[in-house]
Chains A and B, each alone.
Chain A
């Protein structure tokens, strides 16, 4: 079961490459923020799975929840800032 968690972690790490491509080519800033949020989501799942693979899940779980809150706040702050900047930098 531990090796199953490790394999899933490696698969998720490879999946991260796909939104990274959108971060690279994305035509607008919104696409890039969206891709960064998606990468943060997958990182959260990865931290959870690594905690199970190390068998020290009690420690990693608090990190997971805090990480989820941080990811959410980062995306919201960027969206709020982009929303407040409309019409000002023309």
Chain B
């Protein structure tokens, strides 16, 4: 039982690390601020849920795994909310999204850089 737990935890943590890597890579690779927000909010939240879920599987039924579950629920709520707040601030400040056929963004946002 313990070996199965360890292997499942290893697999979950590895997949979660891969998702975190994809989210980070998306921050650099994507051309536009709003698509970068997409990368952060979705991939990073998925990676955190998978890694903490793997640790939960490794821990078993204890008080610590219940706390981990609370952390997972909080991160699943907080990550997209934070990204949405930044995207809303950027949109209200007048940062234009990149439409198809457009070039890469210049420093044209209203508040400057």
Q: Contact residues of A with B, CB < 8 Å? A: 1, 4, 8, 11-12, 15-16, 18-19, 21-22, 27-31, 33-35, 37-38, 41-42, 44-45, 48-49, 52, 57-58, 61-62, 64-65, 68-69, 71-72, 75-76, 78-80, 82-83, 85-87, 89-90
Contact = CB atoms under 8 A, between A and B. Distances in A.
A42 B23 CA distance: 10
A73 B36 CA distance: 20
A35 B27 CA distance: 7
A21 B28 contact: yes
A79 B85 CA distance: 6
29 contacts: A1-B6, A4-B10, A11-B17, A15-B17, A27-B107, A27-B109, A27-B113, A28-B111, A30-B89, A30-B95, A34-B36, A34-B37, A38-B23, A38-B27, A44-B75, A45-B52, A48-B51, A48-B55, A52-B58, A65-B70, A79-B85, A79-B88, A80-B85, A82-B89, A82-B90, A82-B111, A83-B93, A86-B111, A87-B110
Given A1-B6, A83-B92, A28 B113 contact: yes
Given A34-B37, A72-B78, A29 B113 contact: yes
A18 B23 CA distance: 10
Contact of A65 (B36, B48, B67, B110): B67
A89 B58 contact: no
Identify whether the interface residues of B are mostly helix, strand, loop, or mixed: helix
B37 to A, nearest CB: 6
A79 B64 CA distance: 33
B93 A38 contact: no
A75 B86 contact: yes
Contacts of A16: 24
